[in-house]
Chain A
Amino acid sequence: MSTLSIKNLSKTYPNGVRALDKVSLTIEKGMFGLLGPNGAGKSSLMRTLASLQEADSGTVRLDNIDVLRNPLEARKLLGYLPQEFGVYPRITAHQLLTHLAILKGITNRSERKDLVTYLLHKVNLYEKRNTSLKGFSGGMKQRVGIAQALIGNPRLIIVDEPTAGLDPAERNRFYNLLASLSQEVIVILSTHIVDDVRELCTQMAIMNLGQILYHGSPQDAIEELSNKVYRKLVGRDQLEDYAKTYKIISNKMVAGQPLIHVLCETHPQNGFEPLRPDLEDVFFSKINTSSVLV
């Protein structure tokens, strides 16, 4: 039973951007979703957890290993798929996975071969195993990335925006795969796609501007908003007036007209109708405090 505990993690970049601001989280086995808009600090957090970046202060512990002090030990337990995963163009998928398997300590040759073959099957690339990676499409490369993250029985799997470039079927395969893994280990899934988190994660955090804005289960978060979110189709020119009066958490176009969601303790009347909040509303309500109009 693994536990990842993050305490007061802070990081400020030389250009003054505060990427992590006293982040504290405790994550147990299962799928953990990390939601946040672009630039929220998700990738910084991921990189720090993957021992690829120093923090200014704070600690990260994976069970009894101090990840920041003892990165080498932490890396032995890690599976990592970064946001931008590329491949060496001139070798084959099989060669690349074998290389990474060796780096991850799979020293027995036949075991390694079995493992690589198994993974290639799992990510549906077995038939392409001996072609040069140069010709791989973005989605195929991403699948190679997924395969490599699973090598070496990691106790902590970090995946950063993993489904970019995957078609829906592949996405499902991948999530099923992650879900079955998370029976045993911690899987941290960073994404800005709210649905992914809703479908998969038992625990989640929402992040913006380097801070954790919410930490808990998706259900609890939705629960919190129940009976507080209302929606209405409004005229485009009225948008500004509504913004002054109501706390708009999102607006999107439906048949050419803005559909706004507002957060309100009581029914606002005025043509608004109540709705069952979903995770997206949670997400926007957490980050979109200043109600930016698109």
Chain B
Amino acid sequence: MFKTFFLSELKYTLRQPLVYVFILIFALMEFFPMVSDQVRIGEAIGNFNRNSPYVLAQHMTILSLLSLVMVVTFFNNAALRDYENKFQDILFSTPLSKSAYFFGRFFGALLISTLPLLGVFLGMVSGTYLNSIFGWYDSKYFGPFSFDMFLNNYLLIILPNMFIAGAIIYAMALRWQSTIISFMGALMIIAAYIISTTLTSDLGNESLAGLSDIFGINTYKIESKYFTPIEKNTISPGFSGLLFQNRVLWSSLATIILLMSYANFSFKRRYRKVKVRKLSEAQPVATFDLPHFKASFTRNTTWLQFKSFFLVNFLSIVKSATFKILFLFCIIILVIDLSNGFENLGLQSYPLTYIVLDSIEGKTKLFLVVIAIFFSGELIWRDRDVNINEVIDATAHTSLISLVAKVLSLIGTVVIFHLFFILVGMAYQLWNGFTRIEMDVYFLDFFYSDLPLLVSFSGISILIQVLCSNKYLGYFIAILILFVLESVLQILDIRSNMFNMINGPYLQYSDMDRFGPGLTAALWFNLYWLLLAILGILAAGALWNRGAKSSLRERLKKAKKETPANYRRIILAFTLLWLAVAGFVYYNTQILNPYHSNATKEKLAAAYEKKYGKYKQVKVPKITDVKYQLDIFPAKRNVHVKASIELSNATQEPIDSLHFYCPKDWECSLEIPNATLVYTDQVYNYFIYELNTPLSPGQKMVMKMDNAYTTKGFGNDRGNTDILQNGTFLDNGDILPSMGYNQDLELRDNNTRRKYGLPPQEEMPKLTEVLGDSHMSNYNSKGQSDFINIETLISTSRDQVAIAPGSLLKQWEEKGRNYFHYKIDTASINFYSFLSADYKIAKRQWKGIDMEVYYDEKHHVNVEMMLDAIQRSLQYYTKNFGPYYHKQARIIEFPRYAKFAASYPGTMPYSEAFGFIMNLQDTSKNNVIDWVVAHEMAHQWWAHQVIGADMQGAKMLSESFAEYSSLMTLKSITDNPMKIRQFLTYNHDGYLKGRGGERGKELPLYKTENQGYIHYGKGSLMLFALQDYIGEDRVNAAMRGLLEEYRYKAGPYPSTLDFLRHLEPQVPDSLKYLIDDWFKEITIYDNRLNEANYRVLDNGKYEVTMEIESYKIKSDSLGNETHVAINDWIDIGFFMDEKEERLYQAKRLKFDKASSSITVLLDSLPAKAAIDPRHLLIDRVYRDNIKTLQSK
């Protein structure tokens, strides 16, 4: 019997085209990402095989989510087909077995549901095979397949996912017998996924996040996040670990749901509760005397009709179960997102209005668009669905009235949604005791951004529904527009937002710059889409299917014949208006502010390299002195820069010509004495001047530059985010022309380079002791300058303060503008910034140094903390490294369009979003300001006083050192060593994740090449561990030694070898191995505490036995690992508390074999034992280093 139902389910579904269509769709969705970078699922494929088990598992988990549509279709069908065909009474009256029916149908549908995802296998295999023939992609990125890979994917991902989702949906379908409720089930699963994703944003929650994800998407991400390329290529998801646990957990839950549903299931038809009708006494019918009211049809009638239509439509939406369920979903997701979104280091921002808005937009925008699509179908087809259409259609109203009312009720619905979200947001703000609630921001943001989108999309989906001959076709097309259009545009490389309703110019509110540079563009695009939507509604009004159902062609014919003249005139007027707006938008976005498509950009970059690569070796003079005159016009977002630049020939040969590349989007005019412009290339802004008399070695000259940036109209995107109405932030690289060939303009991605016949990009100069050219330039200035003097005359509007490097010599007001004269006190590297905004200034002095914070008046809360951090840094660094050479240390806030902090001589621009608004009231948590400020302050020594030679390892001398210095200041203010471990955990995570995502080669620390995860993550860890092993003073002495040798000196610049030279004498012989292990090689530890037992001795002491395994692993640059014999000093220790905050009896022991048993006598009984309790060593699985003590 089971077999009968099982097979009939298969036969029924397999006879329909649906399942094959789905297989094909999935095959194509996988095929394209295999052979091209244009289309991708999830993250980009890095330096590992495109057809690796990792890629397959990742894609499979993500596509599972998409396959929910099919799961709903198949399971809902299996559950409800008989009901919908009204066959159930007949079927259920036959003597069939309940279990056979229930499970036969279920497993039939389950098997079918797993078929579409097999298309992914098909796509991957065919992509690999066809690529081997056509060579679209470099074949070295394809590996062999293993059978496991497919089997495990099927058993661990496809099957469980379909089973879990299927059980939920099947149970819901049987319980409520409504397709819509089944779709809600699918939405619920998606919501659960979103919630689990929110949990992953904090490291502490990771296991929980991994277990809670129904589809295992995040679980697999977490499980594989430290995979090296080799591992990604070879390891398939296996039957142990987090993913497996997740599968077991959810499959068991699903089984329970299924069994409960089975217990509830009965063949007896569930009758809907029917209220007993109480017929009122039939009154004897007297003559019928209908009150005689005159019907009138005036303008007022039309208005009343409109209102009534609106009301009826609106009520029918908000009273529907779908609305209520969606509403609840959105609120749940929003609340969870608001309360769980962690940013850095497990910290949260204050609930600023714009932070709350980000949450609302991020989590609900898509929902609202989907709601618009769903209800547009409901509204258009409702009259027909409930069979009232003929009555309504036969009344004397104009179709347009009813349509407009439908559109408006739809909009009303989403507005209600949004308003409610705002209320939730405000409640959340108040709940957190945050009272700066900006109503205007809430509402303006809605009017500028979401509302126009929703209105336009509602209009368009209404038109689609009117044009389509059935509701589901309409849904399909609308969803296609929503999700597929963007990919199509991407593939066609069309970037114009005039084709893309969803993605307009980005509006991001900032407390400093309000809605930012994209506002004008956004408003014009809004108008453009709104007019189009109105046209759509007008067209829909003319083509509305009133009365008997007729085809689109008939309706078109009818509309042509019957549309009244004034209606035509309205359509024409709107068309003209729309065309005018479209023309204006086109003019602004394409002609005034042209941009290149991606393909053109690539071509230009490739051509640049081919054309100008020959100038790579051209000799350029060094900049030795710059005087600026900079005028910033914030309201107009214009900047005018004049500079006089002193050049000096530091080479051994005369220089006879100067090559310049002028910054893009700037009008550039250069004035070079005794020189002739001999070559101009406007496409690449490349200019060559020939000097009438060559510049001889050592000789100087002064050139003048006059550059202007003028904001014209509005662009296709948000536009320039450096030059703003409040918060302009430029650095010299944005303004000054660069000299010679500019390697930054080259194509980076090697596959793209291959496409244009270019060899892989030239590598960074190798680390070497032999003094050569590379030692003569630092990595920042690339040989075009050393330490130079800078003087600036800067002006801005009256309400703003402008800041340039150095001491403020003079300040005055002239013609309604503010003028400032700055001069740097110590020659510095050619790397500095200019800022202007309406600032408040907080000042403090420390030993003659002005500590200043320039901040927006709304962001005062953390300012004192920043001054403390500056002072603490100055104290530690001047004591341990050497003097500070500037007279001021400034932190300057800039808008949150970028999220970073940077260090320029004496000035540290710091993003609004990255510290100023962070809630740091809880002192037990990490403090991002202490950490970042100390890091940036450390750069004043490490990068500004001494900077690495332009070769491998250079960034270790600035970034690793700065990060280490920062950790040391934190250490200096904490009395608990365990607090530092929290910071270290983030650096560990950064390093291990980074090496997993490496697209090239992982290098040892001393050879890092622009690899952040090495020089920030690993570098700080290694230096921090080193000071713990050999002593803080010794590490600082080595660093100080390097500083004293190279401080503020032009070439030769130091390399990491020079640092190791200073370090070597500081390291005792017994620990010399650390220099190789940690700096010169890639070493990973695998420590485990297998058992930790204690027993109480007669004297009241505790004897603790620890069974420890210790392995040491060397990795090559691709992640191939070799175990080496261990002979290392490693800490063991105990925690007195569960939270691991009180470290007790830590000891450093030498481990010389893989397994050791250690017995320790303790006075008190700790809660936990650990190997490497402070997480000093790099260990991929740290969790197993700590165990709760068991009594023997």
Contacts and interface: CB of A to CB of B under 8 A. Distances in A.
B293 A91 contact: no
B: interface residue count bin? 35 or more
A106 B386 CA distance: 24
Name the residue among B278, B298, B548 with the largest chain A CB count within 10 angstroms: B548
A181 to B, nearest CB: 6
Contact of B391 (A135, A145, A177, A180): A145
A102 B293 contact: no
Nearest to A51: B394
A76 B290 contact: no
A89 B604 CA distance: 62
Name the residue among A99, A169, A172 with the largest chain B CB count within 10 angstroms: A99
Contacts of A53: 547-548
B396 A80 contact: no
A47 B391 CA distance: 10
B382 A88 contact: yes
Given A50-B394, A87-B388, A135 B275 contact: yes
B1191 interface: no
Given A103-B305, A106-B293, A176-B285, 7 more contacts: A47-B548, A52-B548, A80-B390, A81-B391, A124-B280, A135-B275, A145-B391
B396 A105 contact: yes
B279 interface: yes
B1147 interface: no
A152 interface: yes
B392 to A, nearest CB: 7
Interface string B406-420: 000000000000000
A14 to B, nearest CB: 8
Given A53-B547, A91-B315, A181-B288, A105 B388 contact: no
Interface string A99-129: 1101111111001101100100010101100
Interface in B4-34: none
B297 interface: yes
B301 A107 contact: yes
For the complex of A and B, list the 4 residue pairs with the smallest distance between their C-beta atoms, beginning with the closest. Answer: A86-B387, A52-B547, A105-B295, A180-B288
A270 interface: no
A37 B283 CA distance: 34
A266 interface: no
B503 interface: no
B312 interface: yes
B945 to A, nearest CB: 74
A47 B290 contact: no
Interface string B285-311: 101111111111110110011011101
Given A103-B305, A173-B282, A181-B290, A76 B295 contact: yes
B1192 interface: no
Nearest to A110: B293
B270 interface: no
Name the residue among B277, B285, B311 with the largest chain A CB count within 10 angstroms: B285
B511 to A, nearest CB: 44
A82 B277 contact: no
B1070 interface: no
A88 B394 contact: no
B291 A85 contact: no
Contacts of A87: 386, 388
B603 interface: no
A104 B316 contact: no
A124 B308 contact: no
24 contacts: A50-B547, A52-B390, A52-B546, A54-B554, A82-B387, A82-B391, A85-B388, A88-B386, A90-B320, A91-B319, A95-B315, A99-B311, A102-B307, A103-B396, A104-B395, A105-B297, A106-B293, A122-B288, A127-B278, A140-B277, A150-B290, A153-B292, A153-B295, A170-B282
B825 interface: no
Contacts of B275: 135
A153 B294 contact: yes
B293 A127 contact: no
A80 B394 contact: yes
Contact of A173 (B285, B546, B547): B285
Nearest to A13: B548
A22 interface: no
Interface of A: 14, 47, 50-54, 72-73, 75-76, 78, 80-82, 84-91, 95-96, 98-100, 102-108, 111-112, 114-115, 118, 122, 124, 126-127, 135, 137, 140, 145, 148-150, 152-153, 169-170, 172-173, 176-177, 180-181
A91 B278 CA distance: 20
A127 B277 CA distance: 11
Given A99-B312, A108-B293, A135-B275, A177 B386 contact: no
Given A95-B312, A115-B293, A102 B304 contact: yes
B295 to A, nearest CB: 3
Given A53-B548, A107-B296, A137-B277, A82 B390 contact: yes
B315 A104 contact: no
Contacts of A176: 285, 288
B452 to A, nearest CB: 29
Contacts, number: 148
B394 A52 contact: yes
B388 A102 contact: no
B171 to A, nearest CB: 25
A282 B387 CA distance: 33
A76 B297 contact: yes
Nearest to A180: B288
B1183 interface: no
A105 B397 CA distance: 9
B312 A104 contact: no
A149 B305 CA distance: 17
B81 to A, nearest CB: 24
Given A52-B546, A105-B396, A86 B388 contact: yes
Contacts of B319: 90-91
Contact of B386 (A72, A89, A99, A170): A89
A43 to B, nearest CB: 10
A99 B394 CA distance: 14
Contacts of A153: 290, 292-295
B280 to A, nearest CB: 6
B709 to A, nearest CB: 58
A90 B547 contact: no
B557 to A, nearest CB: 10
A4 to B, nearest CB: 15
Contacts of B304: 102, 107
A209 B812 CA distance: 98
B393 interface: yes
Contacts of A81: 391
Interface string B254-286: 000000000000000000001101111011010
Nearest to B317: A90
B320 to A, nearest CB: 7
Given A52-B547, A118-B290, A181-B290, A80 B391 contact: yes
Name the residue among A78, A91, A104, A108 with the largest chain B CB count within 10 angstroms: A104
Contacts of B307: 102
B558 interface: yes
B548 A105 contact: no
Nearest to B275: A135
B316 A98 contact: no
Contact of B396 (A72, A107, A148): A72
Contacts of A177: 285, 288
A253 B625 CA distance: 117
B396 A104 contact: yes
Contacts of B290: 118, 150, 153, 181
Name the residue among B294, B300, B388 with the largest chain A CB count within 10 angstroms: B388
A182 to B, nearest CB: 10
Name the residue among A91, A100, A103, A172 with the largest chain B CB count within 10 angstroms: A103
B287 A180 contact: yes
Contact of B388 (A47, A88, A104, A106): A88
Contact of A124 (B279, B289, B397): B279
B297 A91 contact: no
